[in-house]
Amino acid sequence: MSDRKPTFFEGFKDPFEMVNKLRIVFYSLASLSVPFFTIWYLQNKNEELETIIEPLGKVFSGIVAAIAVAVAAVVYLQYQKKLKSIRKEDSLPYRLTMLLKAQCFKFIPLAVAPVITVVLYRLTLEPLMMGVYLFSLILLAMSNPTVHTVISDLRLNKRDKEIMLQNIPFEETDMKL
């Protein structure tokens, strides 16, 4: 037996452990910009902030929003391609490992847009940029992982679905990674 320690993406003993790892990654990335936005929004509301650069205008804000949508579309399409190959695997633990990696790589680009837009909001204090920030955060939030979205993404058969919903440890099944 190997003494190699499992990576973050491996070695979980039951389905919920994988879903919890997925949630850790998602909520960590989703919450990166929220404290900054909240502080800067409240300071701006109390007129305690000065703009650093002149407002960039509606056209620039529209371009930033379009880029956020384009990035989300590309990331989603790449994720769907990966899902097709993941669904072909036989082992549920292995599919969950591959899904965890695919989801993490989906979250990272989606989490960049809110960070960029919140920085642009701070620089310009433009209300429209605040809207673009909230829009990009919603695009990220649409990927919120749950047991049910994992089941849906993998299109699990009845047996695997029950293992997921009942959180049956893989040791108690005939499943091996």
Other beta carbons within 10 Å of 64: 21
Residue 127 lies in a domain: yes
Q: pLDDT class for 34, splitting at 50, 70, 90?
A: very high
Query: Quick check: is 62 in a domain?
Result: yes
Note the pLDDT of residue 173. Answer: 77
pLDDT band at residue 128 under the 50/70/90 scheme: confident
pLDDT above 90 for 125 = no
Query: How high is the pLDDT of residue 39?
Result: 94
pLDDT at 118: 92
Give the DSSP letter of residue 6.
P
Residue at 50 is within a domain: no
Structural domain range at position 111: 15-37+57-170
pLDDT at 124 exceeding the cut of 90 = no
Q: Is residue 116 part of a domain?
A: yes
Q: Kindly give the residue spans of alpha helices, DSSP state H, lying in the chain.
A: 15-30, 34-45, 57-87, 92-124, 127-141, 147-154, 158-166
Residue 69 belongs to some domain of the structure: yes
**Does pTM surpass 0.85?**
no
Has residue 81 been placed in a domain? yes
- pLDDT band of residue 175 (cuts 50, 70, 90) is low
- Residue 52 has what pLDDT? 82
Residue 3 belongs to some domain of the structure? no
Say whether pLDDT at 2 is over 60: no
- Across all residues in the chain, what is the average pLDDT? 86
Q: How many domains does the chain have?
A: 1
